[in-house]
Amino acid sequence: MTNIFLQGLSADEFTRLVETTIVSVLKDNKILETKEDTDLLTREEAAKYLSIDLSTLHNWVIKRKLKCYSLGARRYFKKSEIIEAMIVLEPNK
């Protein structure tokens, strides 16, 4: 544990210190998601983001390479999950 001395801190400085600490803990424990993590993309937006055709996107969903969410007849993709689905290719040596 780190000792923190609060003498000489203004109310605003104390508020900022507490706020940044709470946000940091929530993000580390994945309780608080950033806006980018919760961005939903339509099929068209996801295909454009990946620079692929809609048929390729559909095939990736069928092959379970990407997760797809639905609301009625509409399909959505989480931007953060698209990024997570990408794999790192190591260069041939």
pLDDT recorded at residue 53: 96
The tens digit of pLDDT for each residue in 23-81 reads 777 777 666 555 555 689 999 999 999 999 999 999 999 999 999 999 888 999 999 89
- H or E, element range at 55: helix 54-62
Q: Band of the pLDDT at 4, cuts 50, 70, 90? A: low
pLDDT recorded at residue 54: 95
Nearest Cα neighbor of 41 from 11, 80, 4 is 80
Domains of the chain plus CATH, in order, are 36-85 (3.90.105)
86 vs 53, more confident: 53
Angle at 34 between CA 88 and CA 6, to 5 degrees: 120
Q: Which of 4-8, 18-22, 50-54, 74-78 has the lowest mean pLDDT?
A: 4-8
pLDDT recorded at residue 32: 55
